Amino acid sequence: MKKYMPLILLLAAGLSSCEEVIDVSLAGSAPVLVAEGSILHDSVCSVKLTYTSGYFDTARYVPEENARVYLISDDQRFETLEYQGGGIYLGNIIRGKPGFEYTLNISAGGNEYHAASFLNPRPELLHVAYEILDVPHFSGETIYTIKNVIIDKTAEDSYYLLKYHRNGKMLNDYFSTYNDIYLKADTIVYSDYRLDFYSSDTVKVDLYAIDKKTYIYFNLVNDVLFSSMRASTPYNPSSNFSGNILGYFMAASVDSETIIIR
């Protein structure tokens, strides 16, 4: 019989010795290179490189158009990513395979950066459902939360990233993270009560199986976002890149489910 375990997300902003916390002022005026890279199961590598005065200053950015970006897998396959415009660099040969580690190397502005990420097997999002969230709301509308049922049979520690889309648009101001280090169960029911959805919303959930370094990065992004809401001084999320750079490189597998709230 499968076991079900209700779960409320906690912000656990942990750091480990393999992560580098970089000292860049989020509010400063000096341009900082931001890398957003990923290679997904059975997909090519994609990297966006921009310069911005702060990681969350999305209104102003300048694309990095002259970088050299290349990818190496731990079975010694090598590929140089081609520039597509708008700061986007794209591979066309190497496709992500579970069980392999990938290293992304970036040469830009006279500096070298690299990051490695392990691609885990595809997770299983069994199904998603919704339930009424019984909290007061100024609009008087009924608020719903999404319940995610995740199959989690592996004996090894698992790390997950969940991204939500409302009516075709991804919610960019929040990343939901979960690990099963202390909670072992065949099946886990996971709800994040800080996200609000409404009747007639179409909600798509993407469940990513990620490695520990990627998990720590997105946990810290959440902490920065919520510390900004509390009007405290934000700090920079650690990056799995070497050097003075913001952002991440993520190897991941993904499963998705969609539901309409009625």
Cα gap 257→243, rounded to integer Å:
37
Task: Spell out the domains of the chain, with CATH numbers in brackets.
Answer: 6-12+122-211+254-260 (2.60.40), 32-119+226-250 (2.60.40)
Span of 4-8, 46-50, 59-63, 258-262 with lowest mean pLDDT? 4-8
Q: For residue range 117-166, what is the model confidence (pLDDT) as tens digits?
A: 999 999 999 999 999 987 766 667 899 999 999 998 777 889 999 999 99
Q: How does pLDDT run across 141-152, given as a tens digit for each residue?
A: 899 999 999 998
- 44-88 pLDDT tens trace: 999 999 997 655 555 568 999 999 999 999 999 999 999 999 999
Task: Tell me what pLDDT residue 230 has.
Answer: 47
Rounded mean pLDDT of 213-234? Answer: 70
| 4 or 173: which leads in pLDDT | 173
CA distance 107 to 243: 11
Q: Does pTM top 0.75 for this prediction?
A: yes
What confidence category does residue 194 fall into, taking pLDDT thresholds of 50, 70 and 90? confident
% pLDDT > 70, the chain: 77
Predicted pLDDT of residue 15: 29
C-alpha 139, offset from chain centre? 31
Which of 164, 248, 255, 174 is CA-nearest to residue 214?
A: 248
Name the band, by pLDDT with cuts 50, 70 and 90, for residue 19: very low
Residue 244's Cα: distance from chain center in Å? Answer: 20
Q: Is the pLDDT of residue 93 over 90?
A: yes
Tell me, what's the pLDDT at 43? 98
Q: Residue 17's pLDDT band (boundaries 50, 70, 90)?
A: very low
